[in-house]
Amino acid sequence: MACTRYLTQIQEMVDGTLGAIRRAELEMHLDQCEDCHALLDDLRRIHDAAGSLDDLQPPDRVWLQIAGRLRQDGRLAETAASSAPRRSHLALLALAAALVLAVGASLMLLWPRGETPRAPAEAGAGAPNSGNPAAVNSVEDVENELRQAEQHYESAITRLQQIANSSQSSMDPQVAATLQRNAQVIDQAIAESRAALRSEPTSAPARGALFEALRQKVTMLQDTIALMNEMRKGNSAGAAQVLNKS
């Protein structure tokens, strides 16, 4: 039978809120008391098991009922299937997102760290093929994969850059200058990590740095475009206001 006076401390230990002094006191007791030790272990296991419970899937009928209700309530467009023309800024944003998603997807194959829940065993990533042992067997394969992923990024960057350049005029010059300077900082990082990768083709840190820098570049370009698009959207909103008032 666990000792009543240590119950709260044991629970707080599981909560992760036990202060250092009381923790030390408890630890001393745990060394001597098998019951309390067992209690702590069990409660911890319960806590951890609860924290790692998987999602439960609702039965299909729930969705069917939801869809039915939406239809009944007239909340669905009749021509839902035909794609309505989108406003251009949305299309642009969607394009940007799609580009990055495509890039991201291809990276997932090669570079599972960071994006996916980590499996400690492969987190070291020292071995070049730790990410995808089934598909990647040799150094050449890795390099091919790398090149492909990089090309995705490159083309995403080129396309984003074109969009950004063509709309450059809508941005405050000082802000534009800051963005440009910082784009150069990122370019420098890309160039350095690429050089590093040439000298040590299997280096995980070099590879990680290259992708991180490419990713940063993409996000910065996206942000730039989003900023400009938002301003345009402001204009159309303004125009709509004018129309409504007249």
| 109 interface partner picked from Zn ion, another protein, none, CB below 5 to 8 A per type | none
Tokens representing residue 103 in the block: 């890039």
The residue behind tokens 């709509």 is: 240
Which residues, 77 to 116, sit near another protein by CB under 8 A? 77, 80-81, 84, 90, 93-94, 96-98, 100-101, 104, 113-115
- Give me the 212-241 binding string for another protein, x by CB under 8 A, dash otherwise: xx-xx-xxx-xxx-xx-xxxxxxx-xxx-x
- Asked if 43 is part of the footprint of Zn ion (rule: CB under 5 A), the reply reads no
Contact between 3 and Zn ion (CB under 5 A)? yes
Which residue among 22, 33, 192, 203 contacts Zn ion (CB under 5 A)? 33
Residues 176-211, buried b or exposed e (16+ Cβ, 10 A)?
beebeeebeebeebbeebeebbeeeeebbebbebbb
208 in contact with another protein (CB under 8 A): yes
On the 0-12 / 13-18 / 19+ scale of CB atoms within 10 A, 6 is buried
Report which residue type is found at 63.
W
Residue 113's binding partner out of another protein, Zn ion, none, with CB under 5 to 8 Å set by partner kind: another protein
Q: Min. distance of Cβ 6 from another protein in angstroms? A: 10
Q: Are 6 and 35 in contact (CB under 8 A)?
A: no
* Binding test (CB under 8 A) with another protein, winner from 138, 144, 166, 182: 182
